[in-house]
Amino acid sequence: MNDIAKAERMWDNFDVDAGRSVSWLGLNAVSEDIWRRFSPDPNPVFWVAQLLRERGRTDGLIGAALVCGDMQSERPFFEHPTQVSFAEVHGYDLSQESLNKYVPDGVTWHPHKVDCNVLDLPANAFDLVVVSHGAHHVMRIDHFFEQARASLKPGGLIYIYEWIGPEYLRVPRKNRVVSTMLLLALFPSRRTRRTHMNKVKGWRWIMDAVDPNVDPSEACNSLQLHRAFTDRFSAISQHLHGALTYPMFEGIGQNLDESKPWVRRRLRWVIAVERFLIARRLVHPLFVVAVAEPKPG
């Protein structure tokens, strides 16, 4: 079985909803800080719609979602936005099972089962391209973003939210050391640090890297992703983050009771330390969220 077939089998059977239920982004303190620093609107979907409207893109728009899976993170950009109206959405993904899970609401849906390493998009076809937690599965990342750039109409935009850390979701050593120190200092209880997989975060372990034999596509060329993106697009806004919050809280977010003031306060401390260290390049940002327009070809 080749790498593409392995990745297809893995994603045909992966329980995406189970992964979402324990995500670090389920913490309000984390997600609210991300959107506040990225977008003037607390809902980035509304802001992207406003940017499209300002560029004269209003009605009958055509969108594309690349490496889109079941479309759960992409669908809000296309279904019933308040300021613009999409008529059609094209979704591109390797997994037919994932594409089949999406039930469109208010748009005409065109699913395309395709290996996004060899993506061949129509030129000048889309008003908005959304890439959410999928491009890090693409090895030919320059080709991928070149296709995305060429597919946008004049005035079109791209939105991405992607892993930009090391391959196979490895946490860099400097990130791990700082994350572990903060986690033990601020949340010392083993019960709090115990993940949904019954493993305890600490000095011996904080995050598992992905086994490339199980999913060889996972973050297969991720260190080149941000460079490939910025080579072809000019960011209107972008926010680099996740250096500490991801390794600290992924898998244990459900254990942190944000109704307690001391929990909220300590989460804010972690976020502030992360921002300080990223700005000084003392830790490696692991995620980027950005909205951008294409650079001239």
In 3D space, the residue among 125, 64, 115, 71 whose CA is nearest the CA of residue 93 turns out to be 115
Domain edges within the chain: 3-294
> What pLDDT shows up at residue 112?
97
Q: What is the pLDDT of residues 159-214, one digit of tens each?
A: 999 999 999 999 999 999 999 999 999 999 999 999 988 999 999 999 988 888 77
Give me the amino acid identity at 39: S
> What pLDDT shows up at residue 41?
87
Most confident of 70-84, 202-216, 261-275: 261-275
* Domain 3-294 class in CATH: alpha beta
Give me the amino acid identity at 292: A
CA contacts within 13 A on the Cβ side of 172: 16
DSSP 5-66: HHHHHHHHH--HHHHHHT-GGGSHHHHHHHHHHH-SSSSHHHHHHHHHHHTT--SSEEEEEE
Locate tokens 């613009």: which residue? 84
Going by their DSSP bridges, the two strands 287-294 and 233-241 should be labelled as antiparallel
When pLDDT is averaged across residues 52-71 and rounded to a whole number, the result is 95
- Distance between CA 245 and CA 111 in Å, rounded? 34
> Cα 44 vs. chain centroid, distance in angstroms?
13
Give me the amino acid identity at 176: R
pTM for the predicted model, two decimal places: 0.91
Q: Compute CA distances 61 → 80, 129, 180, 295, whole Å.
A: 12, 11, 46, 21
